[in-house]
C-alpha cells in the first residue's frame, strides 16, 4: 500500500550532520546520508539512532540547507537507521531549487 504524501519527495543524496541535546543534557551527534527531501522535511540513513521527538539541528555538506527540526520516526533497517525529520517551519523556497545549486 502506497502512502499519500502532502508534499512530493525529491531524491537528494548528501552527507548530513545532526546535533541534539539528550534528556540528561549531554550534546549528541550523528552523521548520515540523506535519501530525499520535501518542503516539510527530509529522510536520511544513519548508523546511529536518534530518539523520536528529539529536536535536532542539521547541516548538509554540499547543499545550502541547514536548520532545525523534529525527529518524527527512527526505524532500524538492516545495519542502519532510517530517520524521518520534519523541518521547523518548513522550507521557504521550492525544494526543486536544491537540485540547481
Q: What is the pTM of this model?
A: 0.87
* Per-residue H/E/C for 11-45: ECCCEEEEEEECCCCCEEEEEEEEEEECCCEEEEE
**What domains does the chain contain, in order, with CATH numbers?**
10-92 (2.40.10.220)
Measure the CA–CA gap between 84 and 16, rounded to whole angstroms.
13
Mean pLDDT across the stretch 60-85?
95
In tens, the pLDDT along 18-69 reads 999 999 999 999 999 999 999 899 999 999 999 999 999 999 999 888 999 9
Amino acid at each position: 500500500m502506497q502512502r499519500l504524501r502532502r508534499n512530493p519527495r525529491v531524491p537528494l543524496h548528501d552527507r548530513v550532520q545532526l546535533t541534539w541535546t539528550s534528556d540528561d543534557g549531554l550534546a549528541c551527534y550523528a552523521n548520515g546520508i540523506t535519501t530525499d527531501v520535501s518542503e516539510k522535511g527530509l529522510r536520511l540513513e544513519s548508523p546511529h539512532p536518534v530518539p523520536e521527538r528529539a529536536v535536532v539541528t542539521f547541516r548538509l555538506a554540499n547543499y545550502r540547507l541547514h536548520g532545525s527540526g523534529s525527529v518524527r520516526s527512527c526505524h532500524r533497517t538492516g545495519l542502519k537507521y532510517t530517520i524521518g525529520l520534519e523541518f521547523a517551519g518548513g522550507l521557504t523556497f521550492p525544494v526543486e531549487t536544491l537540485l540547481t545549486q
